[in-house]
Structure 1
């Protein structure tokens, strides 16, 4: 297993760590003050999430630079991203930090794209993430980071940047889902 694939597997292993942090540390334990509302669990989840997000950036760069692109990487990398991002989005809906409609739309898109990828793989085609999908993932990751920090420091200016970014990620998610469908529609039609 090469380094990019190890980084992808590490990202998958960090998902339960974030869940444990988020569900086992009390949100009442604030680090800075009650006015900022920054709980220890949010800061720890933020740090683990940022670390996992960095592995996403690194595995792709290393794979391209060292010519270590594999079918496993093309398959596992988007799954690792979705596991990390969707887990945190669900946790934030659970704690009322994220809009449920935006999260449902993004998860529905992911399910459709996964189905399209499965259909394409039955025809011998491995589909890696395109640029719209990568933009969607970056927007999701930035939105999650801002939401985990309770919009700090933008909250001081009453700017709901986390929510704005979450809706931008939702739009990018739906757009990239449409692109996947458009590219893979012939395989869908052949499977009917």
Structure 2
């Protein structure tokens, strides 16, 4: 690993430290899901860089995460509590399972080489991700009215 890559990794690892240092009392309820989203996003970007995943799939998933996280942060800054639902948890599990399947798809211990389980799982995770994003916005629509933020 060259020096530039080491510096990049160090900068990424310093992000949580800066969050804790520069916020008086970090809201751990917001930071916990943010950590999940950063981990998923990093894994997707790495899979794309290794040509193990289509970039558009990663883009859709990461875009959903950015949009929902942005909505939650704006709402939290206005003291609005948005309700999470089971689809968010199902989404996270499906993403972890799918990413793991893609990571191990070409290993010799893969049992069913003729069936692209990794691709099936990633598309299922993609569908659940998009659905959960729309469902989250739909369920929190009343709290998201723009006049409350403006």
State TM-score, norm by structure 2.
0.72
- Structure 2 SS opposite 1:124: coil
Pairs aligned (count): 125
- Structure 1 SS opposite 2:115: coil
**Distance in 2 between residues matched to 1:109 and 1:189, nearest whole Å:** 20
> Could you report, residue by residue, the CA deviation over 1:7-28 in whole angstroms, capped at 9, with x for unpaired residues?
xxxxxxxxx59x9xxxxxxxxx
**Distance in 2 between residues matched to 1:165 and 1:144, nearest whole Å:** 8
> Could you report, residue by residue, the CA deviation over 1:155-187 in whole angstroms, capped at 9, with x for unpaired residues?
643111111111111111111111121123232
When structure 1 is superposed on structure 2, of 123-132 and 77-86 the one drifting more is: 123-132
After TM superposition, give the deviation of residue 122 of structure 1 in Å: 3.1
Are residue 122 (structure 1) and residue 77 (structure 2) matched? yes
Residue 189 (structure 1) aligns with: 146
- Flag the 1:118–1:125 CA change in 2: closer, same or farther, 3 A: same
Residue 29 (structure 2) aligns with: 74
Structure 2: stretches of 5+ with no match in the other structure: 1-8, 13-25
Residue 105 (structure 1) aligns with: 60
- Structure 2 SS opposite 1:157: coil
Residue 95 (structure 2) aligns with: 140
| RMSD over equivalenced CA pairs, Å | 2.4
- Structure 2 SS opposite 1:82: helix
Structure 1: stretches of 5+ with no match in the other structure: 1-15, 20-70
Are residue 89 (structure 1) and residue 44 (structure 2) matched? yes
- Structure 2 SS opposite 1:185: coil
**Distance in 2 between residues matched to 1:144 and 1:83, nearest whole Å:** 14
State TM-score, norm by structure 1.
0.57
Residue 175 (structure 1) aligns with: 131
Ranges of 4+ aligned residues in structure 1 off by more than 6 Å: none
Q: Is the 8 A contact 1:74 1:128 kept in 2?
A: no
- Flag the 1:119–1:72 CA change in 2: closer, same or farther, 3 A: closer
